[in-house]
Structure 1
């Protein structure tokens, strides 16, 4: 497990490259306010948009998740804890006024970047009342 990258994964890098090319600036692996040991993959601080790109195996994708047969009970518990932690983190951020966007690693980076850009623009417009920042 320690060899699995927790940040800078290929799907993350692809989305970040597209967002940066579109002129968006963001913070990487930003600590979730008020929660120890939790991070936001791509954070738009002023707009309060949190983007998480979840791995299918580790976060329980309904389409691609698999369950190891070896040591099955341990893995079931581990993966369920991951999903519960994801829900708890999202709920916490929403209570703090953030928009939380979660995507699966198999989603097309172009589509993810479009949806993220739209959410950031919406939040900016809400915050500024339509004025340019």
Structure 2
């Protein structure tokens, strides 16, 4: 699949820290409860760390207790969801539509949210742009 932002592996490695590269480009994950945005309540927009595409609004963030930032929906037409059969389970992987970077997974267990979904997203894959006060 072609993306609007495409770079060589070498270019991604130069741009991203080793942890960012492992998550965004190799579909890794950060340890639970260690991410910068797990408990953040700052209002703003969360963007892809690799390409800057806006992905999630703080209004859709909720505390799920899973150890990663959780959102009940992405911004329209910003992510790709695809089946992930790694690690002996079936999940739905979430990728940035603009650059194809791995963000996390979405689960249908966002109980009490308007959509019923829980986008479980790695903090290291995003940058928060706070709303100007």
Shared fold (TM-score greater than 0.5)?
Answer: no
TM-score range, shorter chain: under 0.3
Give the greater-gyration-radius structure (CA): 1
Structure in which a larger fraction of residues adopt strand? 2
- TM-score, normalised on structure 1? 0.26
